Amino acid sequence: MTTKISLHAVSKSYGAHIVLHGVTLAIAEGSVVTLIGPSGSGKSTLLRCINLLEPIDDGEIYLDGEDISVPGLDANPVRRRIGMVFQNFNLFPHMSVIENIILSPTRTLGVPKAEARLKAMELLERFALADKADSYPDQLSGGQQQRVAIVRALAIEPEVLLLDEITSSLDPELVGEVLDVVRELKASGMTLILATHEMGFARDTSDVVCVLDSGHIIEQGPPSQVFTAPKSERAQQFLQSIINSGRL
Amino acid sequence: MATTTSRRAVYEQKRKRRSIAVATVSSLIVVTAIVLLVPRMPRWDRVRQSFFNGERFRDSFPRLLDAFILDIKIFAWSAPLILILAMVIAMARNSRSPALFPVRALTIAYTDIMRGVPIILWIYLIGFGVPGLGLDRPWNSPLLWGSVALVLTYASYVAEVFRAGIESVHESQRAAARSLGLSNWQTMRFVVIPQAVRRVVPPLMNDLVSLQKDVALVSLIGPIEILRQAGIEKAKFANFTPYIGAAVIFLSITIPLTRTTDYMMERERRRTTGTRVR
């Protein structure tokens, strides 16, 4: 398997607070990599760095072997290859669902409007949202909004999708419909990197699980190994606390 | 069930009737007091003669109305320029590129200086100062430079309104737009500005109502608009009634405008916040 994204000794700090300590990680094409760990461990920051929303202080990030973390590099073409979905959906409230979806294809890729709409409708149909095309985000449930946000990210045909705790602000009964979408994306062969607190989902769906703690990857491997036989003591503690709270 | 009334509804009705009664009685008392007491003032007759003279009112009103057209014209060409200039200033001030630091510093200095001096002073300074450079017609018109003074000062106020709107759009909206590959400018143009403008429509209307009135200040450097016309009418018979006429004409425009603004603010408040706490 070829490596799609690799991080080499990536460090990031906000002032004196170090968020990422030399993170090194390779993500194979078509694989699902899950980042787990306590809040504040650096999961979201790592995703934002890969999307170049946050500049990194040290180290390199490679996409298809090309260094995308070069200071001063035009981030926009890179971002069109790496989609991102956020915890709070971040749909544009002044635009209808379909307008949200076609904004980037028409404005950044120069796709004609009619063609972009057609493709957006196909995507909406695929995720059972076709009847919501002309609704506004506020009129949708959280689960529907998040599925629209995923469709919006897919509309620019990214090679990699970053999912940042996309079920964390959903009501429990809506989590399932969003996770189903992620499963479908995995089946379609897309490279996915997700930060999540859904441990059961991480165990069942991931190819690789990384446990982050205070900006370090303290455990990394297939879920069968990470969840059952973690090597580091800190990872054992973290998993134990999850098991104790009944979330696995 | 439509026929039975809940005890909540009964209570609400009783309360509503009571508050209507209280409001009616208190308004009546105030109005009666004014109607009865003001005419008892020692010089009331003289004041009534010089401010509320029906004949002077009817005589001067059409000419005041004619002069008011100039106010409307000044407003009509100033308002769009103000909105455009204000948006440019607000966006320059919100720019994040380090290369634009001088522009940011300049806009801060601009808004500080324009807002820190009374508008009337700017009208004098620009309206008398610039034509004093010896420009030829039509470039020495006080109407032109008075309007320029209005545009420059009001743009600094309105720019602050726009800036507040732009800053009120949550950072996560920018993050979403940038993650979709939109450039900084496209993010502003398609995501931030549309949301910002929607949010500041009510305060914007407020500023436009103020502008509607401040247009009269231009009269101080020459143009015969309604305030100056009222002054001329006053001088004819040494009677102040034309000023009341001018006030009535202003009110006929500003009251509908302010009512609309309040209605829009209330609607926006209802839309963005949940149920109201009593």
Q: Does B172 touch chain A (CB under 8 A)?
A: yes
* Residue B3 in this model has a pLDDT that exceeds 70: no
d(CA A109, CA A228): 45
* Residue B168 in this model has a pLDDT that exceeds 70: yes
pLDDT above 70 covers a percentage of chain A that reads: 100
Q: Does B168 touch chain A (CB under 8 A)?
A: no
Residue A173 confidence (pLDDT): 86
pTM of the shown model: 0.81
d(CA A149, CA A92): 10
- Tell me the average pLDDT of chain B: 88
When pLDDT is averaged across residues B6-32 and rounded to a whole number, the result is 92
Chain A residue numbers touching B177 (CB-CB < 8 A): 92
d(CA A147, CA A63): 26
pLDDT tens for A208-239 read 999 999 999 999 999 988 888 888 888 888 88
Confidence bin at A245 (pLDDT 50/70/90)? confident
pLDDT above 70 covers a percentage of chain B that reads: 95
From A104's Cα to the closest Cα of chain B, the distance in A is 6
Search chain B and give the residue with CA nearest A74. B183
When pLDDT is averaged across residues B137-163 and rounded to a whole number, the result is 90
Residue B267 confidence (pLDDT): 79
Conformational region of residue A128, where left means phi above 0, alpha means psi within -120 to 50, and beta covers everything else: left
Residue B2 confidence (pLDDT): 54
Residue B129 confidence (pLDDT): 85
Q: Does B274 touch chain A (CB under 8 A)?
A: no
**Do the beta carbons of residue B149 and residue B122 sit within 8 Å?**
yes
Residue with tokens 């003074």: B149
Q: Which residues contact A101 (CB under 8 A, 6 or more apart)?
A: A116, A120, A123, A124, A148, A151, A152, A155
Give Cα separations from A54 to A50, A192, B87, B241 (angstroms).
8, 19, 28, 67
Confidence bin at B162 (pLDDT 50/70/90)? very high
**Do the beta carbons of residue A47 and residue A164 sit within 8 Å?**
yes
pLDDT tens for B59-71 read 888 999 998 989 8
Confidence bin at B275 (pLDDT 50/70/90)? low
* Residue B134 in this model has a pLDDT that exceeds 70: yes
Instruction: For A10, list phi and psi in degrees, rounded to 5.
Output: -80, 125
- Tell me the average pLDDT of chain A: 91
Q: Does B173 touch chain A (CB under 8 A)?
A: yes
CATH number of the domain encompassing residue A141: 3.40.50.300
For A107, the closest of B172, B173, B182 (CB atoms) is: B182
Task: Residue B234: count other Cβ atoms within 10 Å of its Cβ.
Answer: 18
When pLDDT is averaged across residues B222-245 and rounded to a whole number, the result is 87
Range of the domain at A103: 3-244
* Residue B277 in this model has a pLDDT that exceeds 80: no
Residue A45 confidence (pLDDT): 94
pLDDT tens for A21-71 read 999 999 999 999 999 988 889 999 999 999 999 999 999 999 999 999 998
Residue A101 confidence (pLDDT): 96
Residue B276 confidence (pLDDT): 60
Instruction: Pick B97 or A57 by higher pLDDT.
Output: A57
Which value does ipTM take for this structure?
0.90
Task: Mark yes or no for CB contact A53/B175 under 8 Å.
Answer: yes
* Residue B272 in this model has a pLDDT that exceeds 80: no
Chain A residue numbers touching B195 (CB-CB < 8 A): 92-94
From B214's Cα to the closest Cα of chain A, the distance in A is 34
**Do the beta carbons of residue B151 and residue B82 sit within 8 Å?**
yes
When pLDDT is averaged across residues B127-136 and rounded to a whole number, the result is 82
Task: Mark yes or no for CB contact A92/B176 under 8 Å.
Answer: yes
pLDDT above 90 covers a percentage of chain A that reads: 69
Q: In a 10 Å sphere around its CB, with 0-12 CB exposed, 13-18 middle and 19+ buried, how is residue A131 labelled?
A: exposed
When pLDDT is averaged across residues B220-240 and rounded to a whole number, the result is 86
Structure letter (DSSP) for residue A53: S
Q: Does B118 touch chain A (CB under 8 A)?
A: no
From B177's Cα to the closest Cα of chain A, the distance in A is 8
pLDDT tens for A126-164 read 988 999 999 999 889 999 999 999 999 999 999 999 999
Residue A87 confidence (pLDDT): 92
Residue A105 confidence (pLDDT): 95
Nearest by Cα to A96 from A127, A126, A129, A125: A129
For A79, the closest of B178, B191, B198 (CB atoms) is: B178
E strands, A46-92, are: 58-63, 66-67, 82-85
Confidence bin at A89 (pLDDT 50/70/90)? very high
For residue B216, what are its two tokens?
A: 């009269």
User: What number of C-beta contacts closer than 8 Å exist between A and B?
Assistant: 60
Number of domains in chain A: 1
